[in-house]
């Protein structure tokens, strides 16, 4: 998941792979979200910024607060079908308060973080297990691409984290002109990759954007739930991408076992 404040412009993203090179690939071709799945708001930088305002935060709590906030968004969408207006500054403020910062310190730190994000971006952090898992998936013959709601910088985020090379293509909503949960973003990616929906699997951390959006395009989806807050929600929930290699092995052996279309239209 990635919040952005800038407008979308239509732009065709050319994939790095040809249609011919995908003809013999094994199911599933993985389509992955970026923010919250592969890259994350930098918890160390956020903790340092909060500390400058007199609030000491544990970076791991900052990391977890990101997913607490997503669950709040999903619960709101489940109840009301839409989110109230919500700025990136409010996102950063709420993230820090969830991590334990007083509201006044969080608001001051949010201004600093917003300025930094506009200049460089905060989604420039990844966990060591992300490249390790991507390496394992690639070694197992899994092909991958990224479909992300972003602000035109998702490719740079992945490059800066040293993981862009794992993906055949990177589809940025700001450049494509549609954003999740709009099915047209997913369909644009399928067309660019030369794939059918049933050949792919989408993986993301924002249930109402990632699962709903992918299902709306006819793509099965897996939801990432690092904090275990979605146990009662329909569909498949994994802790994070580290669970994907084992899950894909199970999916290949018994595909009917899993509900990959919990919110299909």
Backbone angles phi, psi at 103, to 5 degrees: -60, -40
Say how far apart CA 56 and CA 49 lie, in whole Å: 9
pLDDT at 24: 39
Low-confidence ranges of the chain (pLDDT < 50): 3-24
35 with 86, same domain: the answer is no
Backbone angles phi, psi at 202, to 5 degrees: -100, 145
pLDDT in tens, 223-250: 999 999 999 999 999 999 999 999 999 9
pLDDT at 265: 63
CA torsion sign for 169, 174, 175, 180 is: positive
pLDDT at 85: 80
Say how far apart CA 191 and CA 210 lie, in whole Å: 18
251 with 142, same domain: the answer is yes
Say how far apart CA 24 and CA 36 lie, in whole Å: 30
In a domain, 60, yes or no: yes
pLDDT at 35: 97
pLDDT at 22: 42
What is the four-CA torsion angle of 22, 28, 31, 36, rounded to 10 degrees?
-150
pLDDT at 10: 32
3-state secondary structure of 195: coil
CATH of the domain at 77: 1.10.150
218 with 188, same domain: the answer is yes
Sequence-ordered list of residues with C-beta below 8 angstroms from that of 103, at least 6 positions apart, any chain: 93, 97
In a domain, 1, yes or no: no
Q: What is the rounded radius of gyration, in angstroms, for the C-alpha atoms of the chain?
A: 18
Q: Which residues pair with 237 in a beta bridge?
A: 223
Statement: the pTM of the whole predicted model exceeds 0.75: yes
Query: The domain containing residue 90 runs over which residues?
Result: 43-119
Final residue before a domain boundary, out of 62, 93, 119: 119
Q: Which residues pair with 145 in a beta bridge?
A: 31
């Amino acid at each position: 998941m990635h919040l952005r404040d800038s407008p979308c412009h239509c732009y065709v993203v050319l994939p790095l792979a040809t249609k011919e090179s995908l003809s013999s690939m094994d199911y599933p071709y993985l389509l992955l979200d970026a923010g919250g799945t592969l890259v994350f708001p930098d918890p160390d930088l956020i903790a340092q910024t909060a500390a400058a305002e007199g609030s000491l935060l544990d970076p791991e709590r900052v990391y977890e607060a990101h997913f607490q906030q997503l669950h709040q968004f999903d619960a709101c969408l489940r109840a009301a079908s839409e989110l109230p207006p919500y700025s990136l500054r409010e996102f950063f403020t709420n993230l820090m308060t969830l991590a334990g910062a007083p509201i006044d310190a969080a608001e001051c730190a949010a201004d600093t973080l917003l300025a930094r994000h506009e200049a460089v971006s905060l989604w420039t952090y990844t966990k060591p297990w992300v490249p390790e898992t991507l390496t394992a998936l690639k070694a197992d013959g899994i092909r991958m691409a990224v479909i992300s709601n972003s602000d035109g910088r998702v490719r740079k985020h992945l490059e800066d984290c040293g993981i862009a090379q794992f993906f055949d293509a990177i589809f940025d909503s700001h450049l494509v002109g549609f954003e999740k949960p709009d099915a047209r973003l997913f369909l644009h990616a399928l067309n660019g990759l030369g794939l059918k929906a049933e050949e792919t699997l989408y993986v993301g951390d924002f249930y109402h954007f990632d699962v709903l959006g992918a299902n709306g395009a006819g793509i099965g989806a897996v939801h990432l739930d690092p904090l275990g807050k979605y146990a009662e929600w329909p569909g498949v929930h994994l802790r994070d991408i580290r669970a994907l290699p084992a899950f894909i092995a199970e999916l290949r052996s018994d595909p009917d076992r899993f509900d990959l279309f919990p919110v299909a239209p």
